[in-house]
Structure 1
Amino acid sequence: MGRLLGYARVSTDDQDMTLQLDALRAAGVADVDLFTDHGVSGAQTARPGLDRLLSVAVAGDVITVWRLDRLGRSVVHLATLAEELRGRGVGLRSLTDGVDTSTATGRLVYGLLSTLAEFERETIRERVKAGMQAAKKRGVSVGRRKALTTAQAKHARALRAEGRSCAEVAALLGVDRTTVWRATR
């Protein structure tokens, strides 16, 4: 069996993570294997302590947290992270949530989390698609704004017909030459 690696996080600098650290130590995590983030929201993608932890975790190790919400910012994020860890052979254990992917019950809870995360992703995708369709019906343009207006594209075609290069036309219009090439082909 590998190492027990611990992770603790508090969202604000005035919060205390003593409870989390004490619980991780009581679970057998050595101080050298504790990784922390102070004053870092779970919604942030860049978390230095978590990033370091994930970079050192190898097959056979078990990442231990006091609660799952300390590790992930959403069910989708947690399930994605747990799936990544499982693929690397790294276990995941939450001391208060009953998740321990090295046990049958923990794998069941993990499976439920994954199913909920998939449901959440599909629901979000369906809502976005429905919103885009409703916007189109109202005549609202959906997606990224075009780099060239219709008038600019017409002007670009005229300049190209005069023999100017895509690079020259792009410089005049303040866009990339690939944009001019697409508009004039």
Structure 2
Amino acid sequence: MNQRIGYAGVSTDDQHLDLQRDALKKSGCSIIYEEKASGKSANRVELGNCLKALRAGDTLVVWRLDRLGRSLQDLVKIVTDLERAGVGFESLIEKIETTSATGKLTFHVFAALSEFERNLIRERTQAGLAAARARGRSGGRKPKLDAKQIREIKTLLKDPSIAVSTVAKRYGISRTTLYKYVGAA
């Protein structure tokens, strides 16, 4: 039996689900999963339960696109997974539904824009790294200790009366960092 299953979510305690709940009921949803969780949170339990409940032929309905995905990339992944499982998707406010050819086209335009954005970010990152290398800079954090300090520390640690923690404190580093540079010797 094909069902319309709704998902409603808000990100803070002072927001209410009433508007979304009413719109989902009006659109014919027989079951509505509700959640109060940060949109950035990867742990959205009710969304997971909702996605598990969907069967081929069902339609997942949300009030707005931003209620489902934390980002456009996340949204595209969720809807693509739904499509592979034979589940339709509908967003009431944006009037997007993937059960028709026009709805699928609209959604795939969003997906293409998302991929384009990811590629632009990757290209900019690569160009920035190449420009930094051309100026003699390499990535990563600057070393905490220089070669002279490492020699001094090795000399100090040869004296068994000097504690490792004392040497680390003197150079403003942790014991772990000290061992990283001079080994356990």
TM-score (norm 1): 0.72
Report if the CA contact (8 A) 1:76-1:120 is conserved.
no
Aligned partner letter, 1:77: D
Q: After TM superposition, where is structure 1 displaced by more than 4 Å over at least 4 residues in a row?
A: none
Identify the residue that residue 53 of structure 2 maps to in structure 1.
Answer: 56
Q: Which structure: larger Rg? A: 2
Name the CA distance, whole Å, in 1 between partners of 2:25 and 2:88: 17
Name the CA distance, whole Å, in 2 between partners of 1:45 and 1:109: 26
Identify the residue that residue 29 of structure 2 maps to in structure 1.
Answer: 29
The answer to whether residue 134 in structure 2 is matched with residue 137 in structure 1 is yes
Name the CA distance, whole Å, in 2 between partners of 1:23 and 1:59: 23
Identify the residue that residue 5 of structure 1 maps to in structure 2.
Answer: 5
Per-residue CA shift, 1:91-148, capped at 9, x if unaligned? 1100111111111221121111111111111111112212221232233333699xxx
Per-residue CA shift, 1:150-169, capped at 9, x if unaligned? 99xxxxxxxxxxxxxxxxxx
Change (3 A) 1:135 1:15: same
Q: Give ranges in structure 1 of 5+ residues lacking alignment.
A: 152-172, 176-185
1:1-185 alignment, distance < 5 Å: 2-30=2-30, 33-38=31-36, 40-142=37-139
Aligned partner letter, 2:35: D
Name the CA distance, whole Å, in 1 between partners of 2:8 and 2:35: 7
Q: 1:88, CA displacement in angstroms?
A: 1.2
Range with greater deviation from structure 2 (63-72 or 114-123):
114-123
Name the CA distance, whole Å, in 2 between partners of 1:58 and 1:139: 56
Q: 1:60, CA displacement in angstroms?
A: 1.3
Identify the residue that residue 162 of structure 2 maps to in structure 1.
Answer: none
Q: 1:174, CA displacement in angstroms?
A: 6.9
SS of structure 2 residue aligned to 1:64:
strand
Q: How many residue pairs were aligned?
A: 153
Percent of pairs with identical residues: 44
Name the CA distance, whole Å, in 2 between partners of 1:52 and 1:174: 47
Name the CA distance, whole Å, in 2 between partners of 1:44 and 1:115: 25
